[in-house]
Structure 1
Amino acid sequence: MSANLRFDIAAHIATITLDRPEKLNAMTPDMAEALVAAVSTCNTSNDVRVVIVTGAGEKAFSAGSDISTLDAYETPWDFRNRQDYCDALRACRKPVIAAVNGYALGGGLETAMACDIRIASANARFAAPEIKLGWIGGGGMAVGLSHSIGMSNAALMLYTGEMIDAERAAAWGLVSEVTAPESLLPRAREIAGQIAARAPIAAETAKLNLRAAHQMPYEKAIEYERDLQAICFGTADAAEGRAAFAERRAPVFRRR
């Protein structure tokens, strides 16, 4: 793990904290490697049911990749094939919540969009500023923005590189909620706790189903949904859910 990335697990909730506040939590290759390892642990651990990603301090969620490290790549091809932290988050099988505090810029915005649910502090600011430096995002910027906020709003952000505030991000659908700064992590943990209390396999298949709904033709997506439903229905947790309903008690799910 990196000294600039904290990772802990409690009550079935894994928390990944980008911990480089003096540099606006800008990502280094070392941090990216640590994040990839943390996500791998989340994927394989039965103790993890939901993941929260946030940044240390109140100034920034993340300013993206540390620009001072980019010249370390010998060729553009090496840069293109670098280990990408957004790819790792998109590959996480567990539901992921981004708790966005302060700036989410460039790769930081891509990091947030790689998560399933985004909530923001009132002081959050979002931008795709790469165009100001002569390039464009490469961690899913255009596809993430166009799916989240529509083509016109995405074009406005991509072509100008200018920031939007949390209120506009919520109005456009980039984030689900805006909270007071001091309420951000408690609210993220509240949502995470609700998800962690649900049947874990059902939550993971719901994530697969949601992505399929975006990517598959309409009828195929419905067919896939029914296949996933059948898989869930055959689990021990589904049997426990039916038994708990009949017995009027809270279910105890075990990811089985």
Structure 2
Amino acid sequence: MSDTEHGRITALRQGRVLQITLDRPAKLNAVSRQMARQLEALVAEINTDDEVRCVVLTGAGERAFCAGTDIRQLDEFDDAWNFRNREDYCMSVRRISKPVIAAINGYALGGGLEMALSCDIRLAAATAQFGAPEIKLGWIGGGGMAQLLSRSAGTSNASLMLMSGDAIPAGKALAWGLVSEVMEPAELMGRSMALAETIASRAPIAAEMAKLNVEAAANMPAKQATQYELDLQAICFATSDAAEGRAAFKQKRAPIFRRK
């Protein structure tokens, strides 16, 4: 089948920022198995490309960020075990070692919500909606939904979304902590790219360590997370970029970071 039927993942480099687009607008950017494989391969390239310092993930068109997995392809799995071991596009997003911003331009449903929650920072258009509708079809999310949603919105709000399956608007998502900012749709990509460029201008190793640090804070006991933070700080302090940062501060100039 063609890309039009299966969709595709596109990548556009703008300086040190890589914009990834889920490109299947006619199907609300629902992720096909082919798209999941493309994303997995792209992530491997991103993680070994020192020139990419920040990633922006968005959906094509004006209606949707991502409506989750292409439900029509689920019948291709001949048993539950093969379904359990399918290509996991949410895990692919979590494997990106660089900071990732989700520019949520419309519906973020099911696996699309999980994908957004797998990003480090989430910005949303005022028209965006967020939902976990799997229960309406007889199952639950499996891409980290409960853990990620509970961490962001709290257990009561997560339970409300998971057990009702109903979507919430962008304003409520902001109040619950699912997203950091909400803005008019026309402003979303400009703001997302500007933020990505700001992050890309910082010391890249430190930015990657900050990402690991936040993840540790969310998943490790406090004592171990604090020790881990000290270890990450020591790693950063030993880099040439940290020496450059100190030298630039003393010389009152902008630092030039080289990821070394």
TM-score by length of 1: 0.98
Question: Counterpart of 1:185 in structure 2: which amino acid?
Answer: M
Distance 2:74 2:211 in 1: 33
- Deviations 1:229-253 (Å, cap 9, x if unpaired)? 0100000000000000000000000
Equivalent residue, structure 2, for 1:99: 103
Identity %: 59
CA drift at 1:182: 0.5
Distance 1:40 1:235 in 2: 24
Counterpart contact for 1:129–1:161, Cα < 8 Å = yes
Equivalent residue, structure 2, for 1:18: 22
**Of the candidates 134, 150, 154, which is equivalent to residue 146 of structure 1?**
150
Distance 1:4 1:92 in 2: 19
**Of the candidates 40, 43, 52, which is equivalent to residue 44 of structure 2?**
40
**1:82 and 2:86 are equivalent in the alignment:** yes
Question: Counterpart of 2:43 in structure 1: which amino acid?
Answer: V
CA drift at 1:41: 1.1
Equivalent residue, structure 2, for 1:51: 55
Equivalent residue, structure 2, for 1:186: 190
CA drift at 1:171: 0.3
**Of the candidates 133, 141, 145, which is equivalent to residue 137 of structure 1?**
141
In the TM superposition, 1:104-253 aligns within 5 A as: 104-253=108-257
Question: Counterpart of 2:64 in structure 1: which amino acid?
Answer: A
- Deviations 1:123-181 (Å, cap 9, x if unpaired)? 00000000000000000110011000000000000000001000000000000000100
Distance 2:178 2:43 in 1: 23
- Deviations 1:205-240 (Å, cap 9, x if unpaired)? 011111111111111111110111010000000000
Q: How many pairs align?
A: 255
CA drift at 1:37: 1.2
SS in 1 for 2:257: coil
SS in 1 for 2:62: coil
Unaligned runs of 5+ in 2: none
Distance 2:71 2:222 in 1: 41
CA drift at 1:78: 0.3
Question: Counterpart of 1:234 in structure 2: which amino acid?
Answer: A
Counterpart contact for 1:16–1:38, Cα < 8 Å = no
Question: Counterpart of 1:62 in structure 2: which amino acid?
Answer: C
TM-score by length of 2: 0.97
Runs ≥4 residues deviating over 6 A: none
**CA-based RMSD:** 0.8
CA drift at 1:10: 1.9
Unaligned runs of 5+ in 1: none
